[in-house]
Structure 1
Amino acid sequence: MNVTEGHEETGTAPRRRDVVRREGRPKCSLVRFVVDPEGAVFPDLAERLPGRGVWVEASRAAFDEAGRKGLFAKAAKRPVRVPAGLADTVEGLLARRCLDILGLARRAGCLVAGFDQVADALRGGQKGVLVSAADAAPDGVRRLSGLHQGLHGDGGPHLVAFGRGELGRAIGRDEAVHLLLFEGKLARRLMDEAARLKGFRAVGPAPNGPADGSSRGTTLGT
């Protein structure tokens, strides 16, 4: 094992040392932070900023514990300032990354939108991530989920985290309710980002539609 800046390379998925749990964990389950010259803590979701990285589990609870116990300062080996609302900032950035992936997939031609288009793709055997608006009608979600599970089994990847307006803007429409992101690199990226987002956004409606009319929540199947 080679360990540098909290890195652990074991020949499988990259791992980093989580400062809260004090153990190596898959990098895709963590958020990297850096400290600027003035001592402010900044999230580095793209993992490109210079400086020593501080890795924390992607969850509000872990962020709270890291701040309460001074773990950012301990890992950075210097005094730091943790901005108010840091967890909310990270949630917003993670949500933006998910939506940006959908927009990229649309432009790349590996995403279809609309009930009929998604249903036709699923009936044709196209696997991928089913994305449903959190404010979608339960019947439509239930029908597409049934087709999706027919291809993937009960654990097919299904994302319910955004309202129809958010999904629409991501792909250049006023709104979007049902989407299918074809399996492949972008689909894997989306589910990795959505898994991190789930640590900051409360689990919401089940795949058969929202029970309380809320516009947010995350349901993930893998």
Structure 2
Amino acid sequence: MSERAGQDNMTTDADHDSADDERGPLRRCIVTRERAAPETMLRFVVSPDRVVTPDLSARLPGRGIWLSARRDVLETARTRGAFSRAARGQVVVPPDLDGILQAGLVRRIMETVGLARRAGQVTYGFVKVREWIEGGRAGLIIQAGDGSPDERTRLLSGARDLPIAVVPTAAGLGAAFGRDHVVHAAMSRGELARRVHIDSERFAGLSGRAVPGSSDQSGELG
């Protein structure tokens, strides 16, 4: 749908800003005006035909439009003209933008898990994951959101300090391992684990789910 400039009644200086100039280590959200590390946020660009296009890897050409990775922020930007103001002109916002973003983040997580699998940096299954936890090898726990809550809690007994990434389904996580379904996985510390953790937090913010583990732990995974 096409946004109408000026329909937002917010009184912040966002009304006069265009897209972030993308210099420096932080980016500013066009809705909340808060600055944060770009990898924790959502970047968009406007295509030649004026369609708002997600850029989850932050690599597409063009000036970026940045949002905090939260459902309410995305909804405000989508319905109150923030994209049009940032782009300084009418733009088309895909009606399923939220679904596009969530699917894209899940895809990124699974691709990264696949890379970790090939590098020998991830294991799966209750017993093997417990072995990694007890042996101090686990840097990140990945769990399927549709797995048994009791079993997921039991796995984490004695490992409350480990960051956790939650993916929607056991079938989706299983696909990364060539299995029908996987509920539990563990990754060793490193860049790949850090990527999965950050993308899972962005997904959780958009889906409105609580994020197990603090975002402050992301730096400990690298």
Q: Could you say whether these structures have the same fold, taking a TM-score greater than 0.5 normalized by the shorter chain as the test? A: yes
- The alignment yields a C-alpha RMSD, in angstroms, of 1.8
Aligned residues: 196
Report the CA distance between 1:167 and its aligned residue: 0.7
SS at match of 2:129: helix
Specify whether residues 139 and 59 from structure 1 end up closer, same or farther in structure 2 by C-alpha distance, changes over 3 A only. closer
Residues 43-96 of structure 1 deviation map (CA, whole Å, 9 limit, x = unaligned): 011111111111111122112211222111111122211111111111111111
Aligned twin of 1:159: 165
Residue 93 of structure 2 aligns to which amino acid in structure 1? V
Structure 1 residue aligned with 2:52: 41
Q: Does 1:82 align with 2:78?
A: no
Q: 2:122 aligns with which of 111, 114, 124?
A: 111
* 1:139 shift after superposition: 4.2
1:52 is aligned to: 63
Instruction: Find the partner of 2:212 among 190, 215, 220.
Output: 220
CA deviation after TM superposition for structure 1 residue 134, in Å:
2.2
Q: Secondary structure at the match of 1:42?
A: strand
Q: TM-score, normalised by structure 1?
A: 0.81
Question: Deviations 1:100-124 (Å, cap 9, x if unpaired)?
Answer: 1111111110001111111122222
Flag the 1:43–1:130 CA change in 2: closer, same or farther, 3 A. same
Residue 170 of structure 1 corresponds to which residue in structure 2?
Answer: 176
- Please state whether the residue corresponding to 2:206 is helix, strand or coil: coil
Task: Report the secondary structure of 1:200's partner residue.
Answer: helix
CA deviation profile, 1:126-184 (whole Å, cap 9, x unmatched)? 131111222333443233201423xxx3xx21223322111100222121121101111
How far off its partner does 1:202 sit?
Answer: 3.3
> TM-score, normalized by length of structure 2?
0.81
Separation of aligned partners in 1, 2:154 and 2:92: 49
| SS of the residue 1:39 aligns to | coil
- Aligned position for 1:93: 104
Which of residues 144, 153, 165 is equivalent to 1:142? Answer: 153
The 2-side partners of 1:201 and 1:71 are apart by: 21
Misfit runs of 4+, over 4 Å: none
5+ residue gaps, structure 1: 204-217
